[in-house]
Structure 1
Amino acid sequence: MEQDGILSQIESSPCSLLTVRVIRARNLHQTDVLSQSDCYVSLWLPTASTNKFQTKTIKNCKDPVWNETFYFRIQSQVKNVLELALYDKDVVTQDDHLFTVYFDTAKLSLGEQVFMHFKRDSQRQEELDVVFALDNISGPPETIITNGVLVSRKICCLEVQVVEKKKKKDSLEKEFSFKVQGSYEGTQEIMLGSDLAFSSSPARFHYARYRQPTLDVTLPGKKQPPFSDKGFDLYAKAEDCPDHLDVRLGFDLCAQEQDFLCKRKKYVAPALKKVLQLEQDLLDHETPVVAIMTTGGGMRSLTALYGSLRGLKKLEVLDCAAYLTGLSGTTWTMSNLYRDADWSQKDLDKQISEAQKHMTKCKINSLSLEYLKYYKKQLSQRKREGRKTSFIDLWGLVLESLLHDGKDNHKLSDQQRAIDGGQNPLPIYTAVNVKNNYSTLDFKEWVEFTPYEVGLQKYGAFVRSEDFGSEFFMGRLMKKVPESRICFLEGMWSSLFSLNVLYIWNSSHSSEDFWHRWTRDQVDNIEEEPHLPQKPHELRTRLFTPPGPLGSTLRSALTDRLSIAQEHNFLKGFQMHNDYLENKHFCRWKGTVLDTFPNQLTQSEEFLSLVDTGFFINTSVMPLLKPERKVDIILHLNYSAGSQTKALDQTCKYCSEQGILFPRVDLSEEDRRNLKECYLFDGAETPGAPVLLFFPLVNDTFQKYKAPGQKRSESEMEDGKVDLYGCCSPYSTYSIQYTEKAYDCLVQLGEYNILNNKDLIMQALHTAVARKRQKKK
């Protein structure tokens, strides 16, 4: 199946019948004071059913026997992990959760029955006995669509209509309620009985066919079915939906980006020939992919980036770049630039002057009554559109007032005008998807935004930028929501209000390890009896022990975020492929605690929870390390507060752990104490890694030189005293207003640090070209 030039596999895969017989438990720990536990077992297999099943409750018994059987229809290409949870029934308070066993059904072989003993631990001798059987199901195989990580299954549409048999003169409006559990729509109401209405408009329900759900009907004035009113007819019809997906499943670049790269080379190749003074034209295979990467830092990063880009423009290196990535404050600069379809083909003085006007203006007007009314109106409109609003949306509106003269109707997809001819580098904005009750060490997923697509590299799932925020189910677009104005995305990309206690601790102590034992799930591998033969793609059987009241309270206090940006999850409904942990693309970005718990991964969430990338690492480099982009050289423009090397060190550590090719950063202690303006790490010891040019934001030779080779006069020495990080510095990350002098100094410093390191930049470009030529040979 061809989707935007990317091949997605359509497979015919059989389903199987999983039989689970819960036999008994032994030696259960007593939780009640005056009696033994009143236990039952809950069975949850979300890949097979929307319902949780449970056994009967056996009262006052430490060795309960249930001997109850449950059936599940499972898809063999899906990762099916059955959760067997043991509870103690409590009439007054919430049922006590004793433990949960996670069992991967991939351990089972067709046609075999296995009697399993799950032992909680050696001390308590608690056991759970379960019999499993896996059998073939007669009938045609199921058609699925997969990229090897996610699986989309067949969707059906059920159409329901009510018709009144005979119109009554005094009829009143009647409300029917229809529910299909597990469908996209859930519950729908139908009104019937107005003067002209003899029949209702059809109600439609989209559901996964494998779940075989029921239609629940509630009649007017009646609390329960069955449908017994003889004055109405109910018509229902179910049809298969087309297999076409609106979510692109694939790990290659989308067709638009591939087309952009071809067009961009027409700018890059002659630009490289000119700046490197080459005698011959560069062939396609000899043209390196150059990327400019930035870090966040509020208004400081917004301002300094303008200076860096102007420096690159003056060196004619800007035309050599294929990508420009950003997060937090640098996304504000990028959003401003890409309003102009030809911004990199002009000098940047106009944009810099326009930004200065907004950086130096009085900001108190942003909190005026007029603006507050405007904010309220805009938030109400987003809520009417079906969005989940938060304080982050308000922050986006405040940013709009700080950085513009009025309402800004610009959208991310509008930036396609600025790249469709290859005339500017492709902008990539970054965010991190997180999960409530987990630190970013335990769960984070990179999300990238381009004018063409928004997606998660880890899953190989992307949607058109204009569809981001709309509602999807199993890869199909269900409800189109108007595309957000870019100010709301800027608020999300720079959501400084999404911090939690763990982030504050990490910022001050450089490690969350002290609190990790309080914020991680207590999950242990357990041995089952008999021991089944190990298969490459199967998961270990594990046991989860829930935390006590104190542990839960402390965990919430440490991990809860003040506010978070939530958008409809376009992965909703997908399931994980049985071999997803063997997929090289997924493995490149996995490493979080929940990656081996497929029932709890992002496809099961209603919303994406997006925060500033800086809450994990203050870098926008990850999209550039996607192998399909084949980036050869990265200009790392750092605008962080405090340590200028922390984000780079964290990136090196992360890439090493993930097996991602990245140059080794070797800085001496002396260099770290007294950083220079630029460092070249050619990655020679890491074959395949890009060349890295690292530009920390420092005030080194700028103190004595107003331009490369031009010393300052005595009267100009004051202009070189740019206090970047002192206690009285005007460039705090949380500062939202600069003086004209402070703004100009920072722009000039950013530009100077680029211009003063022309030789290192040219050396890096020469190295990249030489490697491309050598690789071809």
Structure 2
Amino acid sequence: MGSPPAKMIICPIHMLSVRIIQAKNIKSRDLWTLPISCENFVGQCYSLLDTSLKYLGISGCSGNLQSSPDSSSERHHPGDFLSHRCQASQMTASDCYVRLWLPPASNGKLQTKTIKNTDNPVWNETFYFRIQREVENILELAVCDEDPLTKDDMQFTVLFNVARIRPGETLHETFALKSEKERCARKWESLEVEFWMERIPGPPERLITNDVLVSREVCCLEVQVDINESRRYLTEGKNLVLTVSASHEGTQKTTEDADTFYFHCVKAWEPVLKVRLQKVSDKEDDNSNLSDTLTVPLKFLPVGHKVRVTLPVRHNVPLQLYLQLNDCTENLDVRFGYDLCREEQEFLQKRKRVVASALKRVLHLEGDLHGHEVPVIAVMATGGGLRAMSAMFGHLLALQKLHLLDCVTYVTGASGSTWTLADLYEHADWSQKSLEGPLQAVKEQVTKSKLNLMSIEHLKYYHKEVIERKKAGHVSSFTTLWSLIQEMFLHEQPRKYKLTDQRKALEHGQNPLPFYAVLNVKEEKFGTFKFREWAEFSPYEVAIPKYGASIRSEYFDSEFFMGRRVKKLPESRICYLEGLWTNIFTRNLLDGLYWSSNSNEFWERWAKDMVDIEKSSPEDNITCIEPPSCLSGKLFEMFQDIMTKRPLLGKSHNFLRGLEFHKDYIQQKKFIEWKDIITDFFPTSTLCWTPLQKYLCLIDVGYFINSSGAALFKPERNVDVIISLDYGLGNVFKQLEMTYKYCKIQKIPFPKVEISKEEEKNPKECYVFSDAEDPRAPIIIHFPLVNDTFKEFKEPGVKRSVSEMEEGKVNLENNFSPYYLTRLIYSSENFDKLVNLSKYNILNNKDLLLQAIRSAVERRRRSGRTANLPSYSGAGYR
């Protein structure tokens, strides 16, 4: 099941001309111009709060608020904004300008001059963009009202797909908030623009693409400064400021130790180096104290040759700089392709032999299994803090006792269960030895006092580590501190252990391949339900599957631009990754409301949005967006910021940064399999695009679905059986039901999960779900965290004596449980109860496990389904 390989294509560059002609009926939205009484203001606030909560997917949270007459309860289309329009008579004339942004043509924004005091401004200004037509070119045109007191008001925004323009033709467009028919009723805002495009003579551009993402030609400018001259100026309170605005690095300044600087840019953008000498105290964009400047267009520099240039300095000796421009022709460091990486495919061949031998022994088969008959079995664990970590040890120990651990190919974890995996994979042959030893070590840590975590000695250590990490170039955030505290919490001392060290546990196929699940979200403006992307970590790769893009795990902390590692940083210790995998602090208020209210409402809204959005598309590649207007709009914007801002960010360098979308990415089958948010269908802003973000914002998967299964849903992994280990309290079927609903909407093969009311009240230890009609759907063997027959049996078939009944009492009543999420210490007795319960539930359902696995073998024999045959393709790293 191979995907099309990444390929190189050669395409010409085109010049796009955009003439902003005029706008009509632009009414000012300035708040200060509106006469509004205190009573009306309060009424607007209440109405807005109620409507905004509904828009954000929350109902019943605003209490019995009295709605104002103009409030609307209608459901808004995804991407629409709340708008309570003010009377035109209350408005003053506008001071308008138009802002233009075309990310694939530049990383900066352009704008027209401001036309003062008119509702019908005329500009007739022309702007030029050098574009690559093979990428998705969405031009953002924002009509703004200059505001001397507050942030400039945006009147409306147009997202225009440049693909509508054909080379050699002129296209005249009038963008309006309403259609021609609707405009008859009143005069709506409009913007008149003229486009023209032509091919630029000259060498074409080489692109590398997987038909979803595109990497363009990049050049690297090396700038050398005489370190002695630089230090002399620094002693005088001056430093050299070097800027290539179109580069990944942007602006850099000389320091005591730095004499060489690198700038990575897209060649087609024709970047320019600007050098100036300024006072150290001046701000970066302060030109008031400039001495002298130097401007060097990079297109005039010979490639591969060092050139000396001189920065003239008044009343002083000129400053010499040495410039060398080089083409970045080496292989990409980001692997393009949806297929499994070469290392994983090699591991699968080795593991298949181990699994085949184990299955023959466990199922008492007479003959050996052929390659295509060996099912892929996975263990899928949810999160749940210490509860998940402890219980998972019990589950794995039971699978080991049943000799089923050697039958498992993949094991996935989320949040707390990642602690279990990270501990186990520190040992190269962990599954081949008894887990009793590691279990006792964990018990010792879980039952130990944690009062010294915030001792003066530890606080000094945390501070020292954070400072050193920041100096080395790593992103510093609250998650860095959380990672260090968590490491001390779990291990009491620093560990040099790294994720890639786990490869030793895989080199002979002796253990299952682990995956650690996490979500990438936006720092602000979006709740997790509005925007999130699955990401996966393994000892081999870190990937965001939706884009068919991955990097070697040791590259994760480095800086990337256009698929290339432009700043190499050493691999972090695994504690910093564990901090990301269990990052519960980067939530926003909207995420908090999701968990404190009825989460089904969020799910129903998301499901309905996804169904509705598939039936619609932007008309003629044009989307006009009306922002919030007047008082209610300003309040909504403020309210949205409060609800979606993530105060404690977990930032990581974005390895997709700079990459662009292929012009046909939205039609690619592999991308369609993973797209599950509104902005995957069409953007409400180009800021939604992950490659435009400087950082990834990674959080615990529990803020969407508390499941680590996304890696197992990748079709190329051909998973036949999933042993689902759920560590949730309360509704023990909730996460599995949510997973089923998600898969159903995404058209991912997954068996139907239906639970009766009686089973919800009195859940059993094990459930098996399968789909006889779809052989692609895995068989799910679900183990919820429940205490059923364990109350009376200490081992399968062995009843408890009267004196042993107390050991069978395990309190799993959510908030009152000793295993509640916020409990950081377990008593020795409670730890033993939880582990023994988990172990028992697996052992007591041995027959169901073996029956399901036997069914998977038979299904493979009948279907001749091929499992993970090598079919490596893609443009990859070295």
Residue of structure 2 aligned with 1:499, choices 581, 584, 587: 587
Residue of structure 2 aligned with 1:211, choices 269, 283, 286: 269
Q: Does residue 136 of structure 1 match 2:193?
A: no
Aligned to 1:179: 243
Residue of structure 2 aligned with 1:152, choices 208, 215, 218: 215
Aligned to 1:88: 145
Tell me if structure 2 keeps the 8 A contact 1:165–1:233: no
Cα distance change, pair 299–515 in 1 and its aligned pair in 2 (3 A): closer
Q: Does residue 418 of structure 1 match 2:505?
A: yes
Aligned to 1:529: none
Q: Does residue 647 of structure 1 match 2:735?
A: yes
What whole-Å deviation, never above 9, does each CA across 1:497-555 have from its counterpart, x for those lacking one? 233322232223233858999xxx9xx99xxxxxxxx9999744332424622112211
Q: Does residue 296 of structure 1 match 2:383?
A: yes
Cα distance change, pair 163–395 in 1 and its aligned pair in 2 (3 A): closer
Aligned to 2:8: 10
Aligned to 1:611: 699
Long gaps (5+) in structure 2: 34-90, 280-289, 295-310, 866-878
Q: Does residue 253 of structure 1 match 2:340?
A: yes
Tell me if structure 1 keeps the 8 A contact 2:729–2:814: no
Tell me if structure 1 keeps the 8 A contact 2:720–2:856: yes
Aligned to 1:567: 652
Deviation of 1:31 after TM superposition, in Å, equals 3.2
Cα distance change, pair 446–116 in 1 and its aligned pair in 2 (3 A): same
Cα distance change, pair 539–654 in 1 and its aligned pair in 2 (3 A): farther
Cα distance change, pair 160–100 in 1 and its aligned pair in 2 (3 A): same
Deviation of 1:395 after TM superposition, in Å, equals 2.1
Q: Distance in 1 between matches of 2:154 and 2:291?
A: 32
What whole-Å deviation, never above 9, does each CA across 1:229-270 have from its counterpart, x for those lacking one? 584555433221114111111111111111111110121001
Q: Does residue 53 of structure 1 match 2:138?
A: no
Aligned to 2:188: 125
AA aligned opposite 1:11: I
Residue of structure 2 aligned with 1:272, choices 352, 356, 359: 359
Q: Secondary structure at the match of 1:545?
A: coil
Q: Secondary structure at the match of 1:370?
A: helix
Cα distance change, pair 744–223 in 1 and its aligned pair in 2 (3 A): same
AA aligned opposite 2:241: S
Identity of aligned residues (%): 47
Q: Distance in 2 between matches of 1:602 and 1:25?
A: 32
Deviation of 1:422 after TM superposition, in Å, equals 0.6
AA aligned opposite 2:197: L
Residue of structure 2 aligned with 1:745, choices 829, 833, 836: 833
Aligned to 2:36: none
What whole-Å deviation, never above 9, does each CA across 1:604-661 have from its counterpart, x for those lacking one? 1111001001111100001000011111110000001221111111111111111211
Tell me if structure 2 keeps the 8 A contact 1:165–1:232: no
Aligned to 1:39: 96
Q: Does residue 106 of structure 1 match 2:193?
A: no
Cα distance change, pair 311–202 in 1 and its aligned pair in 2 (3 A): closer
Cα distance change, pair 748–90 in 1 and its aligned pair in 2 (3 A): same
Q: Distance in 1 between matches of 2:235 and 2:838?
A: 73
Residue of structure 2 aligned with 1:72, choices 85, 110, 129: 129
Aligned to 1:545: 627
Q: Does residue 28 of structure 1 match 2:26?
A: yes
Cα distance change, pair 745–213 in 1 and its aligned pair in 2 (3 A): same
AA aligned opposite 2:380: M
Cα distance change, pair 164–348 in 1 and its aligned pair in 2 (3 A): closer
Q: Distance in 1 between matches of 2:654 and 2:255?
A: 31
Deviation of 1:52 after TM superposition, in Å, equals 1.4
Q: TM-score, normalised by structure 2?
A: 0.82
Q: Secondary structure at the match of 2:423?
A: helix
Q: Secondary structure at the match of 2:293?
A: coil
AA aligned opposite 1:564: L
* Corresponding pairs, count: 755
AA aligned opposite 1:738: Y
Write out the 4+ residue segments of structure 1 that deviate beyond 6 Å after TM superposition. 163-167, 169-174, 514-517, 534-538
Q: Distance in 1 between matches of 2:844 and 2:552?
A: 41
Cα distance change, pair 471–166 in 1 and its aligned pair in 2 (3 A): closer
Long gaps (5+) in structure 1: 195-199, 526-533
Residue of structure 2 aligned with 1:356, choices 443, 448, 454: 443
Q: Distance in 1 between matches of 2:456 and 2:203?
A: 65
Q: Distance in 2 between matches of 1:62 and 1:322?
A: 66
AA aligned opposite 1:79: E
What whole-Å deviation, never above 9, does each CA across 1:34-63 have from its counterpart, x for those lacking one? 741111111110110122111121111111
Tell me if structure 2 keeps the 8 A contact 1:46–1:599: no
What whole-Å deviation, never above 9, does each CA across 1:411-463 have from its counterpart, x for those lacking one? 11111111111100011001100002211111000110001111100111111
Q: Distance in 2 between matches of 1:163 and 1:549?
A: 52
AA aligned opposite 2:265: Y
Q: Distance in 2 between matches of 1:568 and 1:239?
A: 24
Q: TM-score, normalised by structure 1?
A: 0.92
Q: Does residue 189 of structure 1 match 2:253?
A: yes
Tell me if structure 2 keeps the 8 A contact 1:444–1:592: yes
Cα distance change, pair 164–550 in 1 and its aligned pair in 2 (3 A): closer
AA aligned opposite 1:571: L
Deviation of 1:602 after TM superposition, in Å, equals 0.8
Q: Does residue 449 of structure 1 match 2:537?
A: yes
Q: Distance in 2 between matches of 1:563 and 1:52?
A: 29
Cα distance change, pair 726–225 in 1 and its aligned pair in 2 (3 A): closer
What whole-Å deviation, never above 9, does each CA across 1:738-775 have from its counterpart, x for those lacking one? 11111111111101100111111111111111111111
Q: Distance in 2 between matches of 1:655 and 1:275?
A: 31
Q: Distance in 1 between matches of 2:227 and 2:533?
A: 52
Residue of structure 2 aligned with 1:622, choices 686, 710, 731: 710
Cα distance change, pair 92–584 in 1 and its aligned pair in 2 (3 A): same
What whole-Å deviation, never above 9, does each CA across 1:697-741 have from its counterpart, x for those lacking one? 100011111111111112211111111225542111111111111
AA aligned opposite 1:113: T
Q: Which moved more, 1:560-569 or 1:281-290?
A: 560-569
Q: Distance in 2 between matches of 1:468 and 1:171?
A: 35
AA aligned opposite 1:76: R
What whole-Å deviation, never above 9, does each CA across 1:109-138 have from its counterpart, x for those lacking one? 222211111111234421111111222222
What whole-Å deviation, never above 9, does each CA across 1:456-514 have from its counterpart, x for those lacking one? 00111111111111111111111122222111211221122233322232223233858
AA aligned opposite 1:754: I
Aligned to 2:667: 582
AA aligned opposite 2:165: L
Q: Does residue 480 of structure 1 match 2:537?
A: no
Q: Secondary structure at the match of 2:103?
A: coil
Q: Secondary structure at the match of 2:154?
A: strand
Q: Which moved more, 1:37-46 or 1:405-414?
A: 405-414
Cα distance change, pair 204–562 in 1 and its aligned pair in 2 (3 A): closer
Q: Distance in 2 between matches of 1:172 and 1:382?
A: 28
Q: Secondary structure at the match of 1:271?
A: helix
Cα distance change, pair 202–504 in 1 and its aligned pair in 2 (3 A): closer
Q: Which moved more, 1:556-565 or 1:149-158?
A: 556-565
Cα distance change, pair 392–536 in 1 and its aligned pair in 2 (3 A): closer
What whole-Å deviation, never above 9, does each CA across 1:133-186 have from its counterpart, x for those lacking one? 22222223210111111111011122334579999x999877432211121232
> CA RMSD of the aligned region, Å?
2.9
Q: Distance in 1 between matches of 2:130 and 2:562?
A: 18
Tell me if structure 1 keeps the 8 A contact 2:775–2:859: no
Q: Distance in 2 between matches of 1:496 and 1:191?
A: 37
AA aligned opposite 1:98: Q
Q: Secondary structure at the match of 2:9?
A: strand
Aligned to 1:116: 173
